[in-house]
Amino acid sequence: MRKAFGIVILALLSLLAAGFLQAASDAPPPWAYGFASAADGAANPPAAPAAPATPPAPVDATPKQVPGSSASFPLAQIRDAFGPADWFPGDHPQMPDVVAHGRRPDVRACSLCHYPNGKGRPENAGVAGLPYDYFVQTMNDFKTGARKSADSRKANTNVMIAIAKGMSDEEVKAAATYFGSMKWTPWIKVVEAATVPKTRIAGGMFLRMEGNEKEPIGDRIIETPEDTERTEVLRDPRSGFIAYAPMGSIKKGETLVTTGGGGRTTACAVCHGTDLKGLGPVPGIVGRSPSYTVRQLSDMQRGTRKGVWAELMKPVVANLSNQEMLAIAAYTASRVP
């Protein structure tokens, strides 16, 4: 009797697995990973360099400035992986050493990619305002291999993994306490549009091209700096982003997020809190980069992000199409935290 029961369970599980694989058979949406096209075939662009982790030898040594800061730094310091420029020391508490400087050889300063204020960028992650326990847990997932990118070309996720592996428990705790002490505040504007400025991709980020040429948005969110120079060159942590999303996607996302869309997914508020700002150790998901959000949903669906807590997200993402993930992220990003 017991045995028969076991067999039934096994059969059910394999059915579930088959359904899961079917849903996940779409290739990961390349735009969310910072690529123009899917991973197969020789026609693809080479892997994005882990910019700015290994910057080319600086040619321009003149001091640069950003609006609102009295400081000035040369490019080499703006991009220094072990002590990047801090434009606005008054915008954040005092950084622990690991955030400000990292530790050679592998632990690059968190403030390089995530910025001193923890706002991060679409190709990495916003880390301000994450619950302490979640932060520690997810760093551990990077360490153990439970959190990887579904697109193996995404070089900076591998850099992040190397950083986590190189960190001591004390350093993880210091970083989690520091970033968790700051609130997440909005700096991404979601705009629905049928056509978008033409972009080029640099280091996993979409940058507007010179001139005013436009192209159809297609099934993509194009998240691009409001000011290319201030973000790409100067790494100004006060200069935000515009995320263009297909017409109607916010509304479609709202239905999925708030009702589950009639069984397509689970209403998110159950775990992420009524306003989706986070609940206990479960992280907030509003006002954050939609590219980052889709990347995570996609990684969880494809099983490359599979930490202990990610189990809870499995049924949420199991049946979602790439288009539905896009709509969900357009909606969550458009909400003010």
Would you call the peptide bond into 52 cis, given omega within 30 degrees of 0 as the criterion? yes
The angle formed by the CA atoms of residues 155, 159 and 162, to the nearest 5 degrees, is 140
Rounded distance, CA 298 to CA 304, Å?
A: 9
Residue carrying the six token digits 């280091």: 203
Q: Interface with ligand HEC includes 249 (CB under 6 A)?
A: no
CA distance 44 to 36: 8
**Alpha-carbon distance values, 293 to 8, 122, 221, 302, 332 (Å):** 36, 9, 11, 14, 9
Instruction: Confirm or reject binding of residue 125 to ligand HEC (CB under 6 A).
Output: yes
- AA identity, residue 96: P
Interaction pattern, residues 250-289, with ligand HEC; x per rule: CB under 6 A: -------x-------xx-x-xxx---------xx-x----
Stretch that binds ligand HEC, among 62-70, 131-139, 194-202, 234-242 (CB under 6 A): 131-139
**Residue where the block lists tokens 């397509």:** 264
Task: Return the structure tokens found at 331.
Answer: 């909606």
Residues 172-231 that bind ligand HEC (CB under 6 A): 175
Residue (163 or 190) nearer to ligand HEC, CB: 163
Contact 284, 125 (CB under 8 A): no
Q: Which residue has the tokens 């907030």?
A: 284
Q: Among candidates 241, 138, 127, which has minimal Cα distance to 184?
A: 127
As given in the structure block, the two tokens for residue 295 are 């990347």
Binding span for ligand HEC by CB under 6 A among 2-10, 121-129, 226-234, 243-251 = 121-129
81, 53 contact by CB (below 8 A): yes
Minimum Å gap between C-beta 248 and ligand HEC is 18
Q: In the set 73, 87, 115, 135, which binds ligand HEC (CB under 6 A)? A: 135
User: One symbol per residue from 23 to 52: x for binding ligand HEC (CB under 6 A), - otherwise; what is it?
Assistant: ---------------------------x--
Mask: binding to ligand HEC, 5-24, rule CB under 6 A, as x and -?
A: --------------------
Q: Does 110 help bind ligand HEC (rule: CB under 6 A)?
A: yes
159 binds ligand HEC (CB under 6 A): yes
Least distance to ligand HEC from the beta carbon of 130, Å?
6
Binding site for ligand HEC (CB under 6 A): 50, 53, 98, 102, 107-108, 110, 112-114, 124-125, 127, 130, 134-135, 137-139, 149, 156-157, 159-160, 163, 167, 175, 257, 265-266, 268, 270-272, 282-283, 285, 292-293, 295-297, 307, 309-310, 312-313, 316, 328, 332
